[in-house]
Amino acid sequence: MAKIMAVNAGSSSLKFQLLEMPAEEVIAQGLIERIGMDDAIITIKYQNDGSVVATEDITLSDDGKKAKFKVVAPVKDHQVAINVMLKHLSELGIIENLDEIVGVGHRVVSGGEWFNSSVVVDEEVLHKIERLAAYAPLHNPANAMGIRAFQKILPHAVSVAVFDTSFHQTMPKVNYLYSLPYQYYTRYGARKYGAHGTSHRYVAHRAAEMLDRDINDLKLITLHLGAGASATAVQNGKSYDTSMGFTPMAGLTMATRVGDVDASLINYIQEHEHLSNEEMMDVLNKKSGLLGISTISSDMRDLEAVRDTNEHANLAIDMFVNRVVRYVGQYIAEMNGVDAIIFTAGIGENGYEVRKEIIEKLSYFGVTIDDAKNTGMRDEAIVSTDDSKIKVLVVPTNEELMIARDVQTLMGEK
């Protein structure tokens, strides 16, 4: 048995799970938000064996089997965040010493064409992750920062990078190339890389298990619908096409990201608004999507709450649904059919109204949703009707588990 930590570092956050492997038991999970500020929020959830008592900082679940530790404190940077997180894990009795953590797996958004699978991190790997910052400017720099911080604090642990893009390296060239001069691909790697690959990989395999089918015999469409959103066509267990592009900006309408847009329009807006390239990219990444259309919020829950009275909120939701339907229809055509559509991530797992709207717009293909199953599900479930020609599943994603599995595999090879 070994303790492995799965890490997802953002520019101002650090999400983690500590797992006992190979049992795949979650020992603890947590999140540090607002890194770089004096009022960072540190939250750790863990199992209560009966020894934990409620305090000002610790609350217990109704049955007393789960504990939640939460404090607000200054956290200067990621290295401080990791030190704080490990200190609390020790003080809460979750770990006795740091040597117990033998492996750390890091989510990295872009691996470009350099990485088609997870790898043990060395200085060359880290350098490549940092060089790929242009491919995922909101993510790769933070991912690299988190890796370096953990390596400094836990030098004994095997460090593994798990790339969102690696699952999509199986796409055929006809699907990943843009209709640009070919030399831009050979010189600069100008192509579609996709993202959310770890999530798409997990839910596709889990869906095959739920359907009791061999994944190599299935055509699936996985919909990772959250603040970041992407659709992937999975054929024979491999990514065949995906909606995100050179960076995670392309594809579906997202919380603040624009999704697909005519490149000429970007140049037109820049000229009329007198925006620099950096300012324009900020608009496309942080001020567009649900936020840009609704003008009030990037959170689907906020928009649903005022949908009946706010036309902009209603329009934003309609556009979100519309873009998902477009890609599902495209992928059904590309694969010449589909066996199942899988919803995951925040909106995909919890937004039963959005799920229903999407499936109803696909009724032409013979897919129907069971209202009672759709609104009543609390975990993973098949929510289509028994006679639906295409199965519809909701599968909570578990990227951390996939990361831990990859760390365990690579530790065995080391």
Record the tokens describing residue 93, joined without a space.
């009795």
335 is in an annotated binding site: no
Q: Where are the beta strands (DSSP E) in 138-289?
A: 158-163, 219-225, 229-235, 238-242
Concerning whether 164 is annotated as a catalytic residue, the answer is yes
Beta partners for residue 17, in sequence order: 6, 29
State how far the Cα of 147 lies from the Cα of 126, in Å rounded to an integer: 8
Instruction: Calculate the dihedral angle through the C-alpha atoms of 257, 258, 259, 261, rounding to the nearest 10 degrees.
Output: -160
- What's the length of the chain? 414
Which of the residues 62, 63, 122, 164 is marked catalytic? Answer: 164
341 is in an annotated binding site: no
Record the tokens describing residue 230, joined without a space.
């992407």
Closest CA to 118 of 74, 80, 162, 84: 162
Label residue 308 exposed, middle or buried (CB < 10 Å: 0-12, 13-18, 19+): exposed
**Sheet containing 58-60: order of strands:** 58-60, 66-75, 37-47, 25-33, 14-21, 2-9, 101-108, 158-163, 119-120
- Neighbouring residues of 227: CB distance < 8 A, sequence distance ≥ 6: 254, 255, 256, 298, 346
347 is in an annotated binding site: yes
What are the backbone angles phi and psi of residue 226, rounded to the nearest 5°?
-145, -150
300 is in an annotated binding site: yes
| 3-class DSSP state of 56 | coil
252 is in an annotated binding site: no
132 is in an annotated binding site: no
Tell me whether strands 340-344 and 101-108 are parallel, antiparallel or unpaired.
unpaired
Contact 342, 232 (CB under 8 A): no
Could you give the count of Cα atoms lying within 13 Å of 326 in the half-sphere of its Cβ? Answer: 14
400 is in an annotated binding site: no
399 is in an annotated binding site: yes
Secondary structure of the chain: what % helix, strand, coil (to 5)?
40, 25, 35
- Residue 164 burial (CB count, 10 A): 28
362 is in an annotated binding site: no
224 is in an annotated binding site: yes
| 3-class DSSP state of 414 | coil
226 is in an annotated binding site: yes
361 is in an annotated binding site: no
| 3-class DSSP state of 104 | strand
229 is in an annotated binding site: no
259 is in an annotated binding site: no
346 is in an annotated binding site: yes
Q: Which residues are annotated binding-site positions for ATP?
A: 15, 224-228, 299-301, 346-350
The catalytic residues are 164
Q: Which residues are annotated binding-site positions for Mg(2+)?
A: 8, 399
Q: Which residues are annotated binding-site positions?
A: 8, 15, 107, 224-228, 299-301, 346-350, 399
